[in-house]
Structure 1
């Protein structure tokens, strides 16, 4: 892997180097995000895995070498003689220079020139020189024919590179998960060590208090023994806790690539943020972005390619060979080339070569083996998808359990503190023994440690959920840049705000009232056209026409491009009404069916229709300029948002709107992966429709006959009578 200069945060340099040249610092106070950054840049296992991606990239570059032209040069000479017969003695010499180029469809073309002489009479000095310049073309017509066959190694290398990058992404995910888990565990162990040290100090104070009471008045020997035993036991607990901290530091130092034996003090407690995902969203995200699933899907593509090529290689071998060129003869090499240029002769040959192994056992079974491997991978993908669903569902159950345990542990810790305070007060007045206080302290220590462990378990459940859904890297701002394999450990910077434009009616075109749109020419921006996925910003290109169920925020009053072009009136008296649609993309399959039945389709404007729009609510402002800036930020990130003015005179920012809930949830998940969290807001809107009709018939009977045909294709046509012209 090429060496790349990475710019780490200045705080990282301050933490690791600490400004000292004499040696490493004794301790560093390490934030969690810095620990993750150190692991990304310095973890040795990740560096080793990165080399695999670099080697895969070099393999891809090497595979393109099949299109490098090949220069060929040769020269030879000799004498052939028959003993005792000088007339059967021949001297010859030839030189050849050529250039060969492989072609995309599997053939090759070669340009070559050759010169030489043959002398059959040793008694004379006349030499018969001949020079040629020609072109040779070879092209397979069955086996090995085609671009896919020629580029087999290139395509497989591309898949191998993609697999290596997904494997690196998976390794990075595991490393980040291990770093966060190890960091949290070290934090908990240090808190446990502090708790045990405080407990030891409390036991020593209790022992001192018992000693003072012994000097003032007789005290039961059992109290002294209990205090001494508690002190010894807690000193042992401190030693054990200290060793656990040191062992965990060693593990974390390896993960973050810190070679010096520096004491690490984690300063961030385990995170307790709730994942803003439903179980359904988490499963969809996992099936879309899990690197191990992507890796297997890429392997399936590679296997399918090899299966197709193996099937193609089982065909007979039929090749076209053609050669042609010019010749020139002379008494010398220069004269032969001169004649080749001025008065050449010519030659050409062409032919076909056919061969097939009888039985074709090897190639046929190679194809069958490839087919079996493809089916195996398909089943493995199905199994992994099933396992992913199980893992995510299990993660949610574990998260619920961890949340409940954390709540109970927090409550138990509070009760243990109250109980200890009560025993200490009773001991001061002589109504509770030393052992009672020791037991209460032990119980409080157990409750404190249980709370820390519950906190760690909850954070671990969240980490496992993010890891199993494939979102852990994004949640921690770690980006695996697959476009540059040699620098695939880049840190993602926070989204930088785009240039701030002055808020004018021309800079934002989608601020409208919830009920009544702001009229054009009234000092307010106009609404976008209906059935566009996003508003049109001044100075930018118009958004493309919608090809999905995404809709405009408030299209009920806008005109459509389809409605401005009226179809020609039908010539017959009857036609078939297929249905009403909100966009042409929804009628693609119906149009295919109509054309398959030999009928002609027609589309005309329909009536307004009330439907439910699922809007992705982001935020809202009382200030119009702030809403404009938020909308601009969305558009700079290529998110097609819009702004509506509510009844309460607030500017509500949405990140899109969809006609069906499934598409809205998918978009919501996609935005969540980018750190943009939205909520679904259903709204009733009135949209213009498009009416799809088929055919033109002179009589109702003819229309009914065609309707029966379309009904068999799962359409529901209705015979309607055309209005008189």
Structure 2
């Protein structure tokens, strides 16, 4: 089995749309699975969810990206004074104008601190200084460090950890989609094989009835058989012809379902292509122990791993909401150097020379009076946490039952194969004996026709039991989460 490296990287296998079309070679089960891995729409759709979850992780990491900012502001003001011009009687005024330039880089650090490294220059002039240039410059760093709410790596990294957990859940969902698709392909493949077996049995039964009709007509011509026997034989041929038509329709329906799983063809031509398959080899006798295999299922099953990750995500959110119950207490501070001169260059050189130091520090506190919102969110997070824990237990219980049921299906199918094989052998022997009795005049066409029908039923039941056994083995692997491992399929969801 070829390895699946990436959903969005198109896998190229030797078979084209269908291996049987151009060469006449029938399609094997492994080829059908390979084509499904490359072309199945359900896998492709689930792959996009995995890629989207990976993109969400990148989005959450963006909170630590430094941000470059810059601004320019021009302001002009004319302000009234409380004095009046004695000549005109009008109120005296003052005016001022300023140009401000600012550039800086700021961001968030993983322990919750916000920072900004920047420089600014303001040229303020007006009536107060006879409109002389007055460049006030500053360069330095400022920051705010939470001490209670949003303090530390936990609250700051929570959104990233939740996004990574969601990505891990999506990866397991993608694996589940691949496992389910492989299992459906296996089921469809064996259903098609059974449909062919049913058609062969129906065709054989019709041919036997036609042969019996021909023999009855010959006997009627020589007077050794009644017209009623000939008419009854004709009715049986017509009835079994209807069974053949029904079996042919069942084959076409099974073909179409398998084709839907293993190709991405969307045209009506899909329905016109015939699909030949290799008869699967007899499945080996497998002894299963659900009590022992239960631990394997807990380790391998994607749905259980998803439930565990969902509980982990709930724990992360609960811890975050508990932190939000704290009041906000932030340590703020800044450090830098100033410059002031009528010349812009001189003002900036003073900053570069670090001649005039500037610093500040303090604390800022904010306390909600009721914490209503925070208490509601924390309570909801705790309930969601308990819900996730209960869902994990629910999944674990479901695994116990599903693994046990799947094991029971294997054991039952094995017994059905043996029982139906014996029934088919006895039916064949009885039919052969009844035909011999008919030819020597010790039986009637009614009993021969009856045995033909019993043989056909036995053949169909044996084929159904064998198909169900193959499907039960595939289902047991799915319930244990071993489908990919047994087929040597490596799944790497799109990133």
CA contact (8 A) 2:126 2:132 kept: no
Aligned: 1:50 with 2:53: no
SS in 2 for 1:297: helix
Aligned: 1:16 with 2:18: yes
**Number of the residue aligned with 1:385:** 396
**Number of the residue aligned with 1:90:** 96
CA contact (8 A) 1:69 1:101 kept: yes
**Number of the residue aligned with 1:141:** 147
CA-CA distance at 1:179 after TM superposition:
0.8
CA-CA distance at 1:306 after TM superposition:
0.3
Q: 1:2 to 1:466 in 2, by over 3 A?
A: closer
CA contact (8 A) 2:220 2:227 kept: no
Tell me the TM-score normalised to structure 1 length: 0.63
Cα distance in 2 for residues equivalent to 1:34 and 1:186: 15
Matches within 5 A, 1:295-306: 295-306=306-317
Aligned: 1:242 with 2:241: no
The counterpart of 2:260, out of the listed 232, 240, 254, is 254
Moved more, 203-212 or 87-96: 203-212
SS in 2 for 1:274: coil
Which has more strand, going by share of residues?
A: 1
CA-CA distance at 1:173 after TM superposition:
1.4
**Number of the residue aligned with 1:38:** 35
Cα distance in 2 for residues equivalent to 1:449 and 1:250: 21
Tell me the TM-score normalised to structure 2 length: 0.92
CA contact (8 A) 1:115 1:132 kept: yes
**Number of the residue aligned with 2:213:** 207
**Number of the residue aligned with 2:387:** 376
**Number of the residue aligned with 2:486:** 475
CA contact (8 A) 1:27 1:263 kept: no
- 1:474-527 per-residue CA deviation (whole Å, 9 max, x = no partner) reads 222222225xx34xxxxxxxxxxxxxxxxxxxxxxxxxxxxxxxxxxxxxxxxx
SS in 2 for 1:16: coil
**Number of the residue aligned with 1:266:** 277
**Number of the residue aligned with 2:432:** 421
Cα distance in 1 for residues equivalent to 2:363 and 2:68: 26
CA-CA distance at 1:47 after TM superposition:
0.3
CA-CA distance at 1:266 after TM superposition:
2.0
The counterpart of 2:454, out of the listed 434, 437, 443, is 443
Cα distance in 1 for residues equivalent to 2:7 and 2:172: 19
Aligned: 1:4 with 2:4: no
**Number of the residue aligned with 2:298:** 287
Q: 1:366 to 1:450 in 2, by over 3 A?
A: same
**Number of the residue aligned with 1:670:** none
Cα distance in 2 for residues equivalent to 1:47 and 1:382: 31
Aligned: 1:163 with 2:169: yes
Cα distance in 2 for residues equivalent to 1:2 and 1:164: 13
Cα distance in 2 for residues equivalent to 1:481 and 1:351: 51
Aligned: 1:173 with 2:179: yes
The counterpart of 1:406, out of the listed 411, 417, 438, is 417
CA-CA distance at 1:383 after TM superposition:
1.7
CA-CA distance at 1:25 after TM superposition:
4.4
Cα distance in 1 for residues equivalent to 2:131 and 2:429: 123
Cα distance in 1 for residues equivalent to 2:384 and 2:255: 45
Which has more helix, going by share of residues?
A: 2
CA contact (8 A) 1:286 1:469 kept: yes
CA-CA distance at 1:27 after TM superposition:
6.2
Q: 1:26 to 1:193 in 2, by over 3 A?
A: farther
Cα distance in 1 for residues equivalent to 2:426 and 2:203: 21
CA contact (8 A) 2:307 2:395 kept: no
Q: 1:125 to 1:188 in 2, by over 3 A?
A: same
- 1:133-186 per-residue CA deviation (whole Å, 9 max, x = no partner) reads 011011101000111211111111100111011111111111111111111011
Cα distance in 1 for residues equivalent to 2:394 and 2:312: 17
CA-CA distance at 1:122 after TM superposition:
7.6
CA contact (8 A) 1:116 1:333 kept: no
CA contact (8 A) 1:130 1:330 kept: yes
- 1:632-653 per-residue CA deviation (whole Å, 9 max, x = no partner) reads xxxxxxxxxxxxxxxxxxxxxx
Aligned: 1:334 with 2:374: no
Q: How many residues align?
A: 476
Structure 2 portions without partners, runs of 5+: 1-5, 81-89
CA-CA distance at 1:232 after TM superposition:
0.2
Bigger RCO (CA 8 Å, 6+ sep):
2
CA-CA distance at 1:359 after TM superposition:
2.0
**Number of the residue aligned with 2:74:** 77
The counterpart of 1:102, out of the listed 98, 108, 126, is 108
CA-CA distance at 1:2 after TM superposition:
7.9
SS in 1 for 2:412: helix
CA-CA distance at 1:358 after TM superposition:
1.2
Cα distance in 2 for residues equivalent to 1:223 and 1:343: 121
